[in-house]
Structures are given as structure tokens and as C-alpha cells.
Amino acid sequence: MDAGLFTANNIWMMLSTALVFFMHLGFSFLEIGLTRQKNTINILFKNIFIITAGLLLYFIAGFNLMYPGEFNGFLGFSGFGLSLPDGGLTAAYADGGYTYWTDFLFQGMFAATAATIVSGAVAERIKLGSFMIFTIIYVGLIYPIVGSWQWGGGFLSTLGGDDAGFYDFAGSTLVHSVGGWAALVAVYLLGARIGKFGKDGTIKAIPGHNIPLATAGVLILWLGWFGFNGGSVLSADPGTTSLVLVTTSLAAAAGGFGAFILSTILYKNFDLTMFLNGILGGLVGITAGADLMSPMESIVIGLIAGVIIVLAVSFIDRLRLDDPVGAIAVHLGTGIFGTLAVGMFGDLAGWDQFLYQLEGVVAVGIFCVATSFIILYILKKTMGLRVSKEEELEGLDLHEHGMNAYSDFRLNQH
Amino acid sequence: MKKIEAIIRKSKFDDVKDALHEIEVNFFSYWDVTGVGNEKEGHVYRGISYSTTDIQRRVLSIVVSDNFLDKTIEAVMKAARTGNVGDGKIFVSEISEAYRIRTGEDGHEGIN
């Protein structure tokens, strides 16, 4: 391969790595914006912990759990730490798409995003220590094992033989639903925030304290998706990357619209937060098949995802599960839909593929629910998952951190 | 001397301020409060409707000499009124002493 082409591919992959990294800022802003001021430091702390611990864990073992080389298809490990293989810095490594180092870092950024999905759902009442332990086990072990089943060449990728199987372009299942299942289990075991549900079954609104920041967060996440999907092409191939960016952004726009229209009809107001969640739903929904869809199909997928978001948020509330940021609706709800959509639309549409997708959803679902339940249940019974009532009412910033997020902040109005 | 405490709509603040300047009441303090009253604000958040009787208002604290009292009350009342529920309230209390810190003057020299 021409050296210039190899360089171009690797540059695009490194740029994509940076864009995915930047999504952590988006998640942080979104979570802060939709929760209360008294817990802002805690949320930021969790997000910073996730990106730092996540990368370190991926270095220590995650990368080699996810890509163990030749293995039985379910569990394999190619050693602690990183070791540059022969040709790892040449076009021989990955069809000239990127170097070994780029491979590690790009994938490492994805690993951390799976954990951050949980942090939004458990916001405002989870104990920091329990969350950190959970993150270490879940990001350190569970995420890479699931990833190995598909991207590492494991059993999901060969469900239909050598050439056919489960398909997840950039991780609707492998990243988003992995986080989404854990979020669901966590929200169930943790319980709702005090004051969210009345004894008579009423649902109370707990408005977020900084909607501008939440909006900034979603726009940043959209930007990050240019790398999340764009880099999942695993090269800078002009045709595929440019198509993927188009399908991604169209799905985002359509997702926003689907949610905006449905929520306006149902609730008779223009709710910005639903519009924002809809955009994310569209993005997650297209992530499984961004390289397989036509622009028109990506719009359809986005619209459906947006509708799912609105219905899922309300449904989850009605189950008396408290999800302050809609993480379960976005990442699990549209994660599953986006995965199944690969069998319903696009280049691989067909009954066989739909079944592969379903098998993948179910296999990952069972594994993630079981493992996250075990980890969280043990934590609940040992150190406890939840802060005390006083701590929750006065704010985690004060009790877990002894700090204010906005010490000197005063409103200045005329 | 009297203190007038007026709880008014924030949107009426500029009108009240102008009205006070017109009658040469140029010194007062104000702060924002949340209050509970008869007015309800309808809110919707992520599909959950709730009306809150906790509303935002602004309080002005105006200390005037006795001869300014009536025209100040009238000025505030006219400027702050919209005719809708939630226009606010005015309270009057007695002030026994007042001083200007810069000069140490007391009594009417120190206030409006």
C-alpha cells in the first residue's frame, strides 16, 4: 500500500479517536444539565473517573480481552499490557487502516463510553465508591468480553458461518446496549430518587438545573459521533466514510424530529430535552448499520428511534424506574432497535440477518443483565449502593465531596 | 419614617423603578424571592405536567420620610399593577432610626 494512503487512513483514525474522546465532555454536560446543581461535582467526578480508569483498564487487560486473537469464541485473553506486534506500525497490521497504537486508543475510547451511560441513569443517589468498583469490573471485564464476541472474531460474528453473522457496525449493541442493560439493572436495584414517585403512584418532575449545558452536551455528542461512526470504517475510505457521516447526521436530525413531533402531540408543549434525547436516539439507532443504509433509510431509522425515545421515557417512568437523563431509553431502547434495524433495512436486510441480530441482542442482553446484576447486588448487600437520605437531600457534592460546584455563582439580573 | 416592602412581578420592575424616580424616590434595595401565593404556573417536563405555586417575584425595600409615604405607595401600585392574579403586595412598617453611613447624618437627611 502506498505510504501516503496508509498515513491518510491512520490520520483519520486518530482524528476519530479524538472525536470519540471528546464525547466524554458531551456526556458530562448532558448529565449535569439534566440533574440538580447540588450533585454536579459528583457527576463530573464520575465522568472523569470513567475516562481515566477506563483507558487504564483497557491498557492493562481490556484490549487483549477484546481482541485475543485465536480463541474459543467466548472468552480469550492475549496477555496483560500492550506489546507491539511485528508489523504493527506498517500497512500490514490492519489492511493499512491504522497502526497498532491507533487501534488500541481508538477502541479504548469506546470502552469508556459504555460506562458513562450508566453514570447518567444512577445520578444523584449512587454511592461513589460502589459506582467506581462497578465501573472497574464492568468496563474492565464485561465490556471487552462482549466486544470479543463480535469485533474480536468471536461467536457472534460467525453465527451464520464464516461470512455471515451478527452485524454491529459501530456498537449499537456492543457499546450502547451493554451500557443500557447495566443502567436498567442499576436503576432497578438502586431505587428512585427521593421525591420522584409519590406513594399514590404520581410521577413528579425533577427538572434539570442547566438546560443550556445539556444542549451543548448533545451537540458535542453529535460531533463526537462523526468519529464514533466515521472511525468505525477502520480506514479513511472516501466512499464509506462520507456515506457513514451522511447516514449518521441524517439519523440524528430525523431522531430529533421524531421525538419533537411525538412529544409535542402527546404533551402539548415544546420540550427541548425530549428533542435532544431524540437526536441521541437517532444516533444510537443508526450506529449498528451506518455503513449499510441509504440516506432515506437512515432518516426512517432516525424517525422511528425518535418515536421510541418518547414512548420509552414515559414507559420507564410508569414502571417506577427513575432515569434522570433517559439513558435507558436512548441507549438500550434505540440500541436494540438500531441493532434489529440492520435486518430490516439496508444492504443486509433479510430474515436470516434479522435472526442473527436478534440472537446477538438476546445473548448480550442475558450476559449483561446477569453480570451487572451480580456485581450490583453484591455491592448493594456489602457496601450499599445508595447514599443516605440526608446525603441525598442535601446533595452529594456536600457529603461525598465537601465542595460546591458553584461556590461563588450569583444570578445577576436586571 | 416608614419602610415600604413591595413584592412585585419581575417584569414590572423597570416600570416601578421609573415611577419611583419620577417622584424623586431614588434610594431603595431589591432582591429576588420565591413566594407561594394564588398564582399557579403550568409546567411540563419530559411528559410530566405539574403546576407550581412557587413563583418568582422581586421585593423592593424603600425607606421614605412620612410625607413621601402616600405618593410612593400610589406610584408603586400603579406601576406594578396588571390586573391579573399575582400582582403582589405592599407592606408598610415603622422605621425608628435611619443613618447615612458616609456622613453619619441621621433622620430625614439620610433617606428619601
Shortest CA gap B46–chain A (Å): 6
Phi, psi dihedrals of residue A383, rounded to the nearest 5°: -90, -10
Neighbours of A300 (CB within 10 A): 20
Specify the pLDDT at position A338. Answer: 97
Instruction: Over range A237-250, report the average pLDDT.
Output: 97
Question: What is the SS3 assignment for A288?
Answer: coil
A193 to chain B, closest Cα gap in Å: 16
Backbone angles phi, psi at A382, to 5 degrees: -100, -80
What pLDDT score was predicted for residue B87?
A: 93
Measure CB to CB from residue B46 to each of A268, A274, A411 and give the nearest one.
Answer: A274
The C-alpha atoms of residue A86 and residue A63 are separated, in whole angstroms, by: 17
d(CA A107, CA A55): 9
Confidence band of B112 (pLDDT split at 50, 70, 90):
low
d(CA A50, CA A114): 9
Residues of A in contact with B49 (CB under 8 A): 267
Inspect the interface and report whether the beta carbons of B46 and A326 lie closer than 8 Å. Answer: yes
Query: Best mutation site among B48, B49, B50, B59 for testing chain A: the one with the most A CBs within 10 Å?
Result: B48
pLDDT in tens, A263-290: 999 999 999 999 999 999 999 999 999 9
Single-letter amino acid, residue B55: I
pLDDT of residue A412: 58
Task: Please answer whether residues A370 and A182 qualify as being in contact, where contact means their C-beta atoms are separated by less than 8 angstroms.
Answer: no
Most B CBs within 10 Å: which of A196, A203, A330, as the mutation test of the B interface?
A203
**In this structure, is the dihedral angle defined by the CA atoms of residues A329, A334, A339 and A344, taken in order, positive or negative?**
positive
Element (H, E) at B36: strand B29-45
Which residue among B10, B44, B50 sits closest to A204, beta carbon to beta carbon?
A: B50
* Structural domains in chain A, sorted by start: 3-401 (1.10.3430.10)
Residues of B in contact with A263 (CB under 8 A): 47
Supply A237's cell numbers.
475510505
| Distance of alpha carbon A96 from alpha carbon A90, whole angstroms | 7
Instruction: State the cell numbers at A173.
Output: 449493541
Inter-residue contact A179 to A115 (CB < 8 Å): yes
Please answer yes or no on whether A205 and B32 come within 8 Å at the CB atom. no
For B68, half-sphere exposure in the C-beta direction (CA atoms, 13 angstrom radius) is 21
Q: How far is CA A385 from the centre of its chain?
A: 22
Per DSSP, the three-state class of A276 is helix
Domains and CATH numbers, chain B: 2-110 (3.30.70.120)
Q: Which residues of B touch A (CB under 8 A)?
A: 10, 32, 43-50
State the pLDDT at residue A199.
Answer: 87
Cβ atoms A178, A114 nearer than 8 A: yes
**DSSP H or E segment with residue A265:** helix A238-267
Report residue A163's pLDDT band, with 50, 70 and 90 as the boundaries. confident
More confident residue, A133 or A162: A133
pLDDT digits 0-9 by tens, B73-102: 999 999 999 999 889 999 999 999 888 888
Looking at residue A390, its pLDDT comes to: 94
Percent of residues, chain B, with pLDDT higher than 90: 55
Helical residues (DSSP H) of A287-333, grouped into ranges = 295-318, 327
Burial of B88 (0-12, 13-18, 19+ CB in 10 A): buried
Tell me the three cell numbers of residue A376: 450490583
**B48 contacts in A (CB within 8 Å)?**
203-205, 317
Is the pLDDT assigned to residue A112 strictly greater than 80? yes
Name the amino acid, one letter, at A378.
I
